[in-house]
Amino acid sequence: MSAPKVTPMVRQYLSIKAEHPDSILFFRMGDFYEMFFEDAEKASKALDITLTSRNKNDPDPVPMCGVPHHSANGYVARLVEQGFKVAICDQVQDPSEAKGLVERKVVQVVTPGMQLDGRYLDASQNNFVCAAVTGRGGVGLAFLDISTGAFLVTQVTTPESAFQEILRMGPKELVLPEKFEENARAAAAMRVADQLPTSRLESKDFENARTRDRLLEHFKTRSLEGFGIQDLPLATRAAGALLHYVQQAQRQEITHVTKIQAYFQDQFLWIDDNSARNLELLKNIRNGTRQGALISVLDKTVTAMGARLMSYLLRYPLIDPQVINLRLDAVEQAKDLARVRDEVREALKEVHDLERLRSRTALGHANGRDLAAMGESLKQLPRLWALLKENFESPLLCGDATDDGLTDVADLIDRSIREDAPPGVRDGGMIKPGFNEELDEVAALATDVKGLIAGLEAQEKERTGISTLKVRYNKVFGYYIEISKNQTKSIPPHYVRKQTLVNAERYITDELKEFETKVLGAEERRVALEYNIFTQIVDRINGEKNRLEKASHLIAWVDVLTALGHVADHNGYCRPVVDMGQTLDLQESRHPVVEKMLPGQRFVPNNITMNNLDQQILMITGPNMAGKSTVLRQAALCVIMAQMGSFVPAEKAVVGVVDKIFTRVGALDNLSQGESTFMVEMQETANILNNVSHRSLVILDEIGRGTSTFDGLSIAWAVAEYLHDYKDHGVKTMFATHYHELTDLTKTHPRVKNFNIAVNEWNDEIIFLHSLVEGGTNKSYGIQVARLAGIPASVIRRSKQVLQTIEDSEEARVAYSAKASGKGGKKDVQVQMSLFPTPGELAAQALERMDINSMTPLEAMNVLSELQQRVKRPEKAPADVTAETEDQE
């Protein structure tokens, strides 16, 4: 673009855009936000709005598009959802006061991790932005949810652990140093950077001294010891950099972030992302929704704060029995006191999302409706706190917060804010009549001008006795008093003549001028005064942000614990015994999700007992569809539920604390990474073997299926041995397999026990009993399952024929093998069976097709010699033998 064509407005736009090159700039122009150049092209496509241009007749027209300012939030949310950043550039000067170009500046940058509008946030999940930095000692991570004020930090030893932690916390955005990729191992491990919107900060923003000073300044402290992060230099660096990033985006201090909380991975039951997905904790595998996941059964919370906490507790179960049992005490009280629990839950239903309302208020994004929702929520506290203190003993259900009903804040909002306040804070109509005398007067002027004029006119008529007196208004003279000429002799001395007409005179008075000043611009003054009063109310509420945070925290816990009590009561769960023992004993246990998806059917419960002394590995065989996977998963889910502080679906449960849960179930190709199904399966298995401890629980649903039978069986056998013998203690393992040979492990490994899922056979059909019983089985019932799946009858018949041929051939081979070796028993490792004809069978087929009458004696001798060699040493594929034999013919 040539210089002469750049208008002052475009120059202003380009200057501001240069400061935000990675954002789509929403440039306020009157009642619209406009976008120009590449931003307009991107936004019009993403939002499906019309792309037009300025100066259409110009050889180089400027692309542009726009959205109304009053509905901009929806458009911003749609862009952010697609991974864009949006910089909001507002007019910060009244156009009427501007001498030339109106002053504009960016007032907020909205990113996927910094969305504040509750309409576009998942109420049940935190909306974290994460910062990561590597250094000596590992990786520092910081997570900040600006919508709630939550600020968490941790430090891990490896990039791989950092990657898993990020997946576990589930941030919506990642912030990294600009040279992060220079650490090759970190860059390789942090594959999440390819999946999340990622922003870069200069390396200096992650420097130790700079980040520490930022945190000290923000929290207004002299030391970080009170937060427990003084010995976590990498976590401190990540936290300071993240705080800087968020403050820059918000263009203000984030005062509602009042504390920073350090946590460590070894405080929690470790569940890697693969295991969380396989166990369907938060999402089902089929379509990624909550339906059919464990969270859908447990999350009967009635507040958004409770829903977020429930999700967090499910992702981070504990390993400290003392703390776990404190939670279980509270859940037990909530379960037993059903009437009180229901009253508490009814009160909680009236509580809005106080955490996010508090944050919006602190950041200046709250409107009248937000404050009204806050006030309505706070009105519930006195009743709620009384119920808790009078009925419960658990400190988790009646903490210190119950001493503060926040009645002063609730009263302030109740007296000041209208329940039907409009969405805009500069539109008026937010403040209740009677709260502010000056506002009442201005509002009366603005809403009843005609009535006020009529009243003034009647007052003057009575005072002067002039019946023809009228109070009128025009744009030239403003308000005036008009009197007929035949009555002008009666006018009071303080009337000042303003205009003479043919039949009347017009006058003004000081009182009328004062009235005019009040009336003209009364609406503008009313709106401005309302906004000023509103900001004063907001400031007073912000002064109580710590009290609001404390109340929100307790409400979330009360909601979660009463919800778990409700679920335990309605679903027939038992309280687990959680200790530091090595036993996992689940009597009459059930799968918490599957049993809810069997309407009208009874779920068959099972007993599962494991320990590290005599029943450490459960080798489980049985046909597909019998329920092996269900039994495996229900054991893991019961452990997770117990350690998060929930009752479990069983008649009796003893859970010796587990430190890590690993699962390896069906794998899929990872074609984008060039990895086959078998490679994915082996990577998952390697992760398990390299990270287990004697307190871990391992769930293996088939090992070695992605390769040949011999290879797969060998790997599965070796994996089972490794877990059995691990550091002399072994690892509790549930191993479902179709390799029936693995049941022989019980002969040499005393802590391996065989179990199978029982079935009944009747008239060539099978009936699944879904019961876990002792002992192995050597039948997979694959053909019967195939019939149930709808495989055509002809294929089923052929399958039976092939199976019979293979089994007969196998029996012959075993008999021959036994005879040749001089032993009468079956060999330890059986020969893998082939579905192709054997060389002998091919030779017989070739002989049958030969026309011996047309062959010379020499040709016949050559063919027989060749076939004999093939039978003795089948060096070529079966197809080659057949082809060569046919050539001889």
Annotated binding site: 622-629
Q: CA-based Rg of the chain, rounded to a whole angstrom?
A: 39
Nearest to 782 by CA among 624, 620, 629, 621: 624
548 with 354: CB under 8 angstroms? yes
Q: What count of Cα atoms within 13 Å lies in the side-chain half-sphere of residue 348?
A: 28
Known binding residues for ATP: 622-629
Q: Computed from CA positions of residues 740, 745, 747, 750, in that sequence, does the dihedral angle turn out positive or negative?
A: negative
Q: Specify which residues 177 forms β-bridges with.
A: 201
**Paired sense of beta strands 32-36 and 24-29, if any:** antiparallel
70 with 81: CB under 8 angstroms? no
Q: Specify which residues 62 forms β-bridges with.
A: 54
Name 77's Cβ contacts closer than 8 Å, sequence gap at least 6. Answer: 115, 117, 119, 120
Nearest-angstrom CA–CA distance, 588 and 633: 15
Nearest to 482 by CA among 460, 515, 513, 459: 460
346 vs 303, 339, 384, 658, CA distance in Å? 11, 11, 9, 36
Nearest-angstrom CA–CA distance, 283 and 305: 19
SS3 394: coil
Residue type, 474: N
Which strands form 129-135's sheet, in the order they lie side by side?
A: 198-201, 173-177, 129-135, 138-145, 150-156, 261-262
* Phi and psi angles of residue 842, each rounded to the nearest 5 degrees, phi first: -65, -40
In degrees to the nearest 10, what's the CA dihedral of 463, 464, 467, 473?
Answer: -90
SS3 327: helix
DSSP, res 61: P
Nearest-angstrom CA–CA distance, 484 and 234: 87
Helix (H) or strand (E) holding 810: helix 793-821
Q: Computed from CA positions of residues 224, 228, 233, 236, in that sequence, does the dihedral angle turn out positive or negative?
A: negative
Q: How many CB atoms lie within 10 A of CB 123?
A: 13
DSSP, res 337: -
Which strands form 652-656's sheet, in the order they lie side by side?
A: 577-579, 652-656, 584-589, 606-610
Nearest-angstrom CA–CA distance, 210 and 223: 14
In degrees to the nearest 10, what's the CA dihedral of 106, 149, 153, 259?
Answer: 110
Residue type, 754: N
Nearest-angstrom CA–CA distance, 822 and 672: 53
867 with 847: CB under 8 angstroms? yes
**What DSSP line would sit under 721-779, residue for residue?**
HHHHHGGGT--EEEEE-S-GGGGGGGGT-TTEEEEEEEEEEETTEEEEEEEEEES--S-
User: For the stretch 128-146, what's the b/e string if a residue is b when 16 or more beta carbons lie within 10 angstroms of its beta carbon?
Assistant: bbbbbbbbeebbbbbbbbb
Nearest-angstrom CA–CA distance, 257 and 237: 17
Structure tokens that stand for 373 in this block: 């929702």
Structure tokens that stand for 712 in this block: 């797969």
